[in-house]
Amino acid sequence: MAHPADGQITLHRITDDIARPMEARPGKAWWICFGVASLFLLDFLGMATYLVANGIGVWGLNNSVGWAFDITNFVFWIGIGHAGTLISAILLLFRQRWRNSINRSAEAMTIFAVMCAAMFPLLHMGRPWDAFFIFPYAPNQRGPLWVNFRSPLVWDVFAINTYLIVSLVFWYLGMIPDLATLRDRASGIVKKTVFRVFSLGWNGSHRTWARYEIVCMVLAGLATPLVLSVHSIVSMDFATSLLPGWHTTIFPPYFVAGAIYSGFGMVLMLLIITRQTMNLQRYITARHFDAMAKILLLTGSIVGYAYASEFWNAWYGGNLYERFHFINRATGPYAWCFYLMIVCNVLVPQVFWSRRARASVPILLVASILVNVGMWFERFVIIVVSLHRTFLPSSWGMFYPTIVDLGILAGSFGLFFTLFLLFIRFLPMIAMWEIKRGHGEEVPHA
Amino acid sequence: MLKTFLVATFSDAEDLLRAVPLVRRQGLRLYDVYAPYPIEELDELMAIKRTRLPYVTLFAGLTGLATALALQFYANVLDWPLDVGGKPDNSTLAFIPISFELTVLFAGLATVLAFFVRTRLYPGKREELAAPGVTDDVFALVVRSPTNPAARYRAIEIFAECGAVEIAEKGLDL
């Protein structure tokens, strides 16, 4: 067990290492990151206000392309969230202990990413204050009408809200013992009171722990099919329509693989940044990066396979419109987006066949950013390229983003990073009790 | 209500694990163990029965499923049938995604709520610590204070033999 004599890290040292960044004043690096992130958040608030005041006509949408940045951003952010649940739930079920020092921040990332995602359908409505219309309730102002339960867009409402609530509960439940640890360390009366309220009087009783572990397992078991269902349902927004480029049965697994791919890219990027700014090299190690790079390689290859199979089906299926769509995807006006997507999603992860690349922080950082660029463009290609040239040439058109489109996209990153930076500042970003249970095995001693 | 307990604290979980069977063999009632993390071996040593909370998950999940199916059937078949693209009123296949989501939502929330109720955790509850540091690096073994002085003496002896850092008699509201 963890004992100084064994040359292992002591339990108290684990508490200290993880709690200290929250108790001390944040360093310069944190303030710089936070400053930049809040500027982008301000941009988001400004642009969103302008959008709501003027209507969604200020976006570059038109009659041909009625969905563009808004839905691209929505699918992108929902996808980011998936890695968090994968790490926290699926790796828990498979008893992958290495997840212990990264699961908390990955779960937090899930919640913040889903919040960012939810902004886009809300803004796309034009009148966000009427958003409650999408929930089924009766009676209502529209007479006895109900929402259309056969529509994937309504399924989305249920899927996203369930996902957000269950992720939030899972995240909070996992944090209760650590909040109790912080409560018992806190010196200030305000801090102590806040932690006391949220730690629910936790006192480390083993009878409670025994139940707690079962409940965590049950939630992980529920979250696992849930996360697969969420992106499957998102993909059905497209797959159940008749549009070439959308109307395909491969979409659910293809979207789920893409979501995990982009999510791991984001987790990797965030962990590299927090590891450097919060001095957590001891807890977030080369081993984590190696495992995540392997997952990127696997999911990136699945995504590459899906791209290839779409093209093969377009040729083999013999449907004229389908064939045209894929020729247009690779040679049309948006072909550069398509090639950018291929480079970032299919070629970039192939560097991780090399052990040296999986161990190099600069390569990992650059690759993780490219993964996210690539996955954003994947959604853009699927959505905009499919819409801009449909069956009738008379309904063809082009989409060009406006400053508001770009501003809201950039601003959503501000929202995400502001929330994440506040999280690492105020809450335990590494699950202390889970590290302690592993007897600090994952933690190499100094 | 305050009760008198004999609290032995250990700095190493191994020491505590050695003490647990000895204490039980003496016929002393092991009240609980307080630790900074769940110690797997304790479930068996303390003879903890497997929790019945997963039944809550099952029944809440079934309730969620029934609610979702009933809501969609009522809205689309009984209350206001609406022809959408010629699909049947009772489009059961289209009802599956929402039914699944509500099953998961009900099951997850009910399990966590039942856990809080069962373990009596609630916001603002004042924590009662068996010993300072049990949420950090201290392991505490707690038994009801034996009234019989001989049993009491024997318990203290066992704790000391197993390497307890501190043995104290405390009035606690655990």
Structure confidence by residue, pLDDT tens digits, A82-93: 888 888 888 888
| Stretch A289-312: mean pLDDT | 92
pLDDT of A2 above 60? no
Would you state the torsion angle of the CA atoms of residues A82, A86, A88, A91, taken in this order, to the nearest 10 degrees? -170
CA-based nearest distance B71→chain A, Å = 9
Whether the CA torsion A26, A28, A31, A33 is positive or negative: it is: negative
Q: Report the pLDDT value the prediction gives residue B95, as an integer from 0 to 100.
A: 92
Residues of B in contact with A146 (CB under 8 A): 75-76, 79-80, 82
Whether B118 has its CB under 8 Å from any CB of chain A: the answer is yes
Question: Which residues in B lie closer than 8 A to residue A436 (C-beta atoms)?
Answer: 36-37, 137
Residue A393 in tokens: 């040439």
Distance CA(A251)–CA(A232), nearest Å, equals 7
pLDDT band at A8 (very low <50, low <70, confident <90, very high): low
Would an 8 Å CB–CB cutoff place A241 in contact with chain B? no
* Cβ-Cβ contacts under 8 Å, B95 against chain A: 149
Task: Write the CA distances from A233 to A221, A246, A372, B66, integer angstroms.
Answer: 19, 13, 21, 21
Distances A303 to A65, A226, A252, A347, A424 between C-alpha atoms, Å:
25, 21, 12, 11, 32
**Residue B125 within a domain:** no
Q: How far apart are CA B63 and CA B78, in angstroms?
A: 20
Same domain, B36 and B61: no
Query: Is B97 in the A-facing interface, judged by CB distances under 8 Å?
Result: yes
Looking at residue A441, its pLDDT comes to: 59
In this prediction, residue A5 has a pLDDT band, given cuts at 50, 70 and 90, of very low
Residues of chain B neighbouring A177 (CB-CB closer than 8 A)? 36-37, 135
CATH number for A283: 1.20.1630.10
Query: What pLDDT, on a 0 to 100 scale, did the predictor assign at position A144?
Result: 66
- Is the pTM higher than 0.80? The answer reads yes
Least confident of A146-155, A279-288, A417-426: A279-288
How many interface pairs between A and B have CB atoms less than 8 angstroms apart? 204
Q: Read off the pLDDT of residues A325-358 as tens digits, 9 standing for 90 and up.
A: 999 999 999 999 999 999 999 999 999 999 999 9
pLDDT higher than 90, residue A374: yes
Instruction: Inform me whether the pLDDT recorded for A384 exceeds 90.
Output: yes
CATH of the domain at B21: 3.30.70.790
Task: Please report, rounded to a whole number, the percentage of residues in chain A having pLDDT higher than 70.
Answer: 95
Q: Which residues of B touch A432 (CB under 8 A)?
A: 36
Instruction: Give the per-residue pLDDT at A326.
Output: 93
For an interface test with B, give the residue of A156, A162, A430 to mutate (most B CBs within 10 A): A162
- The answer on B69 and B24 residing in a single domain is no
Mean pLDDT for the stretch of residues A99-115: 89
The answer to whether residue A1 scores a pLDDT higher than 70 is no
For residue A446, pLDDT beyond 70: no
A434 touches chain B (CB under 8 A): yes
B57 and B44, same structural domain? no
Q: Distance (Å, rounded) from C-alpha A148 to C-alpha A212?
A: 39
- Select the more confidently predicted residue: A168 or A147: A168
User: Is the model's pLDDT at A317 over the cut of 80?
Assistant: yes
Q: Is residue B132 one of the residues assigned to a domain? A: no
User: Does A224 lie at the interface with B, CB-CB under 8 angstroms?
Assistant: no
Contact list in B for residue A226 (CB cut-off 8 A) is: 101, 104
Interfacial A residues in 2-41 facing B (CB < 8 Å): 3, 10-12, 15
Indicate whether B74 belongs to any domain. Answer: yes
Task: Evaluate whether B67 touches B33 at the Cβ level (below 8 Å).
Answer: no
Q: CA-based diameter of chain A, in Å?
A: 79
Q: Any CB–CB contact under 8 A between B161 and chain A?
A: no
Consecutive H or E run containing A341: helix A335-342
pLDDT value for A140: 62
The overall average pLDDT reported for chain A is 88
3-state secondary structure of A145: coil
Q: How close, in Å, is residue B23 to chain A by CA atoms?
A: 16
DSSP string, A279-331: T-TTTS-HHHHHHHHHHHHHHHHHHHHHHHHHHHHHHHH--HHHHHHHHHHHH
* pLDDT surpasses 80 at A433: yes
Average pLDDT for chain B:
88
Q: Chain A: give the shortest CA distance to residue B100, in Å.
A: 8
Residues of A in contact with B46 (CB under 8 A): 206-207
pLDDT tens digits for B12-56?
888 888 888 888 888 788 888 999 989 888 888 888 888 899 999
Overall average pLDDT of the A58-86 stretch: 90
Predicted confidence at residue A440, as pLDDT, reads 55
Residue A139 has pLDDT above 70, yes or no: no
Cα gap B21→A284, rounded to integer Å: 38
Q: Is residue A383 part of a domain?
A: yes
What string of H, E and C letters represents the secondary structure of B52-70?
CHHHHHHHHHHHHHHHHHH
The residue that leads in pLDDT, B133 or B99, is B99
**Does B50 contact chain A (CB < 8 Å)?**
yes
Per-residue pLDDT, A94: 80
Are B35 and B13 in contact by the 8 Å Cβ rule? The answer is: yes
The answer, yes or no, to whether residue B108 has pLDDT greater than 70, is yes
pLDDT at A350: 94
- B128 falls within a domain: no
Question: Residue B80 is encoded by which pair of tokens?
Answer: 């206001």
Beta bridge partners of B166: B9
Out of A149, A184, A436, closest to residue B76 by CB: A149
Query: Residue B100: inside a domain, yes or no?
Result: yes
Closest-CA distance, A359 to chain B, in angstroms, reads 31
Q: Print the domain residue range for B83.
A: 53-118
Instruction: Domain count for chain B, please give it.
Output: 2
Task: Output the pLDDT for position A6.
Answer: 45
Q: Decide if pLDDT at A48 tops 80.
A: yes
Residue range A192-209: average pLDDT?
91
CB A277 within 8 A of CB A29: yes
Distance (Å) from the C-alpha of residue B155 to the closest C-alpha of chain A? Answer: 20
Percentage above 90 pLDDT, chain B = 26
CB B81 within 8 A of CB B55: no
How far apart CA A277 and CA A275 sit, in angstroms, is 6
Regarding whether B21 and B41 lie in a shared domain, the answer is yes
Whether residue B36 contacts residue A436, with contact meaning beta carbons closer than 8 Å, is answered with yes
Determine, yes or no, domain membership for A444: no
Domain range enclosing A418: 4-437
pLDDT at residue A296 is higher than 50 = yes
Per-residue confidence (pLDDT) for residue A286, from 0 to 100: 84
Q: Among the listed ranges A139-148, A204-213, A253-262, A324-333, which one has the minimum average pLDDT value?
A: A139-148
In a domain, residue A264? The reply is: yes
B51 touches chain A (CB under 8 A): yes
- Confidence at residue A303, expressed as pLDDT on a 0 to 100 scale: 93
Report if residue A119 sits inside a domain.
Answer: yes
Chain A contact probe: residue of B137, B141, B143 with most A CBs at under 10 A: B137
Q: Is residue A115 part of a domain?
A: yes
Q: Is the dihedral of CA A157, A159, A164, A168 positive or negative?
A: positive
Residues of B (6-45) whose Cβ lies below 8 Å from A: 12-14, 32-39, 42-43
In a domain, residue A358? The reply is: yes
**Cis ω on the peptide bond leading into residue A401 (within 30° of 0)?**
no
Of B12, B32, B51, the CB nearest to A206: B32
Residue B108 is assigned to a structural domain of this protein = yes
pLDDT in tens, A218-275: 999 999 999 999 999 999 999 998 899 899 889 999 999 999 899 999 989 988 888 8
Asked if residue A416 has pLDDT above 90, the reply is yes
**Would A65 be classed as within a structural domain?**
yes
When mean pLDDT is compared across A3-17, A210-224, A251-265, the lowest value belongs to A3-17
Q: How far is CA B77 from CA A403, B70, B85, in A?
A: 46, 10, 15
| Mean pLDDT within A297-312 | 93
Average pLDDT on A439-444 reads 57
Domain count, chain A: 1
Average pLDDT on A413-433 reads 90
C-beta atoms of A203 and B43 within 8 A: no
- The answer as to whether B129 is a domain residue is no
B90 in any annotated domain:
yes
Question: Does residue A205 sit in helix, strand or coil?
Answer: strand
Residue A164 has pLDDT above 90, yes or no: yes
Residue-wise pLDDT for B149-166, tens only, equals 888 888 888 888 888 888
Is residue B112 scored above 90 in pLDDT?
yes
